[in-house]
Amino acid sequence: MTDLVSVTIDGMTVQVPKGTSIIEAAKQAGVLVPHYCYHPSLPSPAVCRMCLVEVEKAPKLMPACVTTVMDGQVVHTDSEQARKARTGVLEFLLINHPLDCPICDQAGECELQDYTFQEGRDSTRYGDYAKRYNPVEDFGPDVLYVANRCILCTRCVRFMDDVARQPVLNVSERGDRAYIGIDEGQLLDHAWAGNVVDLCPVGSLISKDFLHKARAWDLDKSASVCTGCSQGCNVMIDTRDNTVVRLRPRPNLDVNRHFICDHGRMNYRWMNRGDRIEAPLLREGSRHVASDWAPALVRLGELAAKGGKAVVLASGNASLEALGMVKALLKSSTATLAVQLPMAESEEPLGGVPNLALRRERAANGDGARLLGYSTDWQAAVKAASAADLVILLDVTLTDAEAALVGGAMAVVVLGTLLGQELPAAQLILPVTTVAEEHGVFVNRDLRVQRYQQARTAPGLARPAWWIASEAGRLEPSTAAEAFALVANLVPALAGLTYGDLGLTGRVVRAAVPSPQGA
């Protein structure tokens, strides 16, 4: 039982554990203390001086990020003194800051803009004095350092030093000549280095990938989960006009804190691919003919009802709902279920955060599949497919050899996304949605069950695979939530769970029977 202390911030009294900083206690009271250098995932240097607040009985304004709360303390974050101090800091930051907003990517999501709009001066007193000039530096591979915009909050240096543990950045020079330097001949190629772009409160560290691509206020944002590996980092998918333009970390203190790795960050272009299966295709003789859903679903239902030996070959990024509903669809068959999980050579940890790495298992739902009884023995499953009555492929691209084996089955149904996934032998080729186009659930390596949300509309007639299975099998679920509830009850560990239980940060479950953990 931690000791609690009581503090009153802007008139609201809250109880917080002893040792809490004023800035964190303020969050409990619903107060955001403006700040730059402070970050909950980094050590606090208290250098930006933006978070100075008035504390009754203290002789000076106190930096909220490093001042711990004392029992009975009364804090005013918005008093005249505190506001004047903040206006002062903003003015000082702006004197050397270039008027780059029209060409700066950070505009619209810039904390300098935000706070200046809120309580900065409405005109400059700096007049036409020269501003400090430092050239743009390519910190590579994806990061540009626009030195003139830097406010020297040093978040990037502290991230690389303490969290990434690759200390290649420094503060060089002194006084108003200071800038961020990088090791001679080094690049910011650490597996997690891209986070410095998110950490930078202004447009000083920017992503080359996102350079001049879209304006922040044009973006729609959806909560999702990264499909890069089994870590299950929470991400935000940013889209503009239905095109995914950026992935950013979504804070989850129990999984990825405020970070995602560069592999995951760059792993979005495939979401915009145009070469998609867009309509259900039914086999008529030797050709595939496009059709509406109704006849396709009827045919799928018939195939499933026949029973016999069924094999499901599923992608490691198929949702829990999809995997479960397909399994439910095949209740009349003896089913062999397999999931494809690409494995990498090694993992790339983020040293400063416990239990966080780019994992070797490069798929998001390996453990969801395992909970549902899907095997990882792909070879065996492909072999079984060659003699099966029904094979369902769920968003996988087979090798030529695998396709040849699968072609030996009585009936093949492809639930696919990309045009390359069609098989000439298939009875049905049905368009499914990707993770960006549907609601669903992944289970990460720690058995955390996490929701992801739809970020863009699906092309053509593509529908979620759980829906196809539900319709074809005349099963109950007609929404993703209902599908999840049904699938959850197929697994003892997930029994009774609903979307409401998961929220947007997920929930960890315990496997009733310990399933072999992925890598």
Partner 1 sequence: MSGTAHSAVHDENYQPVFVGDAKAKLEALFSKYPTKQACLLPALWMVQEHRGWISERAVGEVADVLGLTPAFVKGVVTFYTMYHTHPVGRHFIQVCTTSPCNICGAEEVTKAFLKHTGCGELGATSADGRFTVIEVECLGACGFATPVLIDDDFIEGVTPERVAGILQGYK
Partner 2 sequence: MGYPHPSHAKETPVLSKYFGDAGARTFEGWVKRGGYEGLKKALGMSREQIIEEVKASGLRGRGGAGFPTGMKWSFMAKEVVKPHYLVCNADESEPGTFKDREIIRWTPHQLLEGCAIAAHAIGAERIYVYIRGEFTPEHRILTAAVEDAYKNGALGANVFGSGRRIDAVVHRGAGAYICGEETAMMNSIEGKRGNPRIKPPFPAVAGLWACPTTINNVETLSAVPHILMRGSEWYKGLCLSNPKSTGTKLISVCGHVQKPGNYEITMGTPMKELIYDMCGGMRPGRSLKAVIPGGSSVPIMTAAEIEDCPMDYEGIVAKGSMLGSGGMIVMDDSTDMVYQVMRLARFYAHESCAQCTQCREGTAWTTKILERILAGKGKPEDIELLLDLADNMTGKTICVLSDSCAAPVVSAIKKFRGEFDAYLSRMKRPATVGA
Site of interaction with partner 1 (CB under 8 A): 167-174, 181-184, 186
Distance of CA 203 to the CA centre of its chain: 21
Q: Which does 488 bind (CB under 5 to 8 A by kind): partner 2, partner 1, none?
A: none
- Residue placing its CB nearer to partner 1 in the complex, 170 or 272: 170
Q: How far is the CB of 174 from partner 2 (least distance, A)?
A: 5
Residue (84 or 212) nearer to partner 2, CB: 84
The least distance separating partner 2 from the CB of residue 186, rounded to whole angstroms, comes to 19
In the complex, the residues that contact partner 2 under the rule CB under 8 A are 45-50, 52, 60-61, 63, 66, 84-85, 88-89, 91-93, 95-96, 125-126, 129, 151-152, 171, 173-178
What's the half-sphere exposure (Cβ side, CA atoms, 13 Å) at 421?
Answer: 26
CB 282 within 8 A of CB 414: no
- Least Cβ distance, residue 92 to partner 1 (angstroms): 21
* Cβ contacts of 106 within 8 Å, gap of 6 or more: 113, 149, 200, 202, 203, 206, 216
SS3 label, residue 91: helix
The three-state DSSP-derived secondary structure of 345-413 is CCCEECCCCCCCEECCECCCCHHHHHHCCCECCHHHHHHHHCCCCEEEEECCCCCHHHHHHHCCCCEEE
- β-bridge pairing 243-249 and 281-284: unpaired
135 binds, among partner 2, partner 1, none (CB under 5 to 8 A by kind): none
Partner interacting with residue 435 (select from partner 1, partner 2, none; CB below 5-8 Å by kind): none
* Gap between the Cα atoms of 338 and 347, Å rounded: 24
The answer to whether the beta carbons of residues 74 and 55 sit under 8 Å apart is yes
Residue 178 or 511 having the CB closest to partner 2: 178
Q: Which does 169 bind (CB under 5 to 8 A by kind): partner 1, partner 2, none?
A: partner 1
> Least separation, in Å, of the C-beta of 175 and partner 2?
4
Distance of CA 417 to the CA centre of its chain: 21
CB of 178 to partner 1, least distance (A): 9
| Rounded least distance, CB 160 to partner 1, Å | 8
**Are 16 and 35 spatial neighbours (Cβ–Cβ below 8 Å)?**
no
CB under 5 to 8 A by kind: which of partner 1, partner 2, none does 500 bind?
none
Beta bridge partners of 313: 338, 393
Residue 83 touches which of partner 2, partner 1, none (Cβ within 5-8 Å per kind) = none
Q: Is 319 exposed, middle or buried (0-12, 13-18, 19+ CB in 10 A)?
A: buried
Q: Which two tokens stand for residue 472?
A: 């074809």
Beta partners for residue 440, in sequence order: 452
Report what 303 binds from partner 1, partner 2, none; CB cut-off 5-8 Å by kind.
none
Shortest distance in whole angstroms from residue 157 CB to partner 1:
8
List Cβ neighbours of 354 (8 Å cut-off, separation of 6 or more). none
- Residue among 98 and 181 whose Cβ is closer to partner 1: 181
Q: Which of 183/254 has CB closer to partner 1?
A: 183
* Least Cβ distance, residue 106 to partner 1 (angstroms): 25
For partner 2, the closer CB: 42 or 497: 42
Residue given tokens 């009884």 in the structure block = 373
Q: CB-wise, 161 or 361, nearer to partner 1?
A: 161
Closer residue to partner 1 in complex, CB, 128/184? 184
Partner interacting with residue 92 (select from partner 2, partner 1, none; CB below 5-8 Å by kind): partner 2
Which residues in 285-301 are b (16+ Cβ under 10 Å) and which e? eeebeebebeebbebbb
